[in-house]
Amino acid sequence: MEQFLINNPWVIWLAILWTLPWKGVALWKSARNGQKIWFVVLLILNTLAILEILYIFVFGRKKKEIIQQQ
């Protein structure tokens, strides 16, 4: 795997370009929602945007948004 990454540095750049916008939106939403623990977790963990996407669409929703949909 390491040899593949050494021979193909574009894969690393692709992962960075994929992760950065998701991480930015997730960090912004967690800060706006006042969720400090989520902010720290999202800042520290690197999950190739899986956790960030879950936060944005599942865990980061405000309670008002959930109530209005019902």
∠ at Cα 48 (22, 35), nearest 5°? 50
Give the pLDDT score at 10: 93
Looking at residue 61, its pLDDT comes to 79
Per-residue pLDDT of the chain (70 residues; tens, 9 = 90+): 788 888 999 998 999 999 999 999 999 999 999 999 999 999 999 888 999 999 999 988 776 655 666 6
Cα–Cα distance, 56 to 25 (Å, whole number): 8
User: Global pTM?
Assistant: 0.74
| CA 39 to chain CA mean position, Å | 10
Q: Given this model, what pLDDT does residue 46 score?
A: 85
What is the Cα–Cα distance from 68 to 38, expressed in whole angstroms? 23
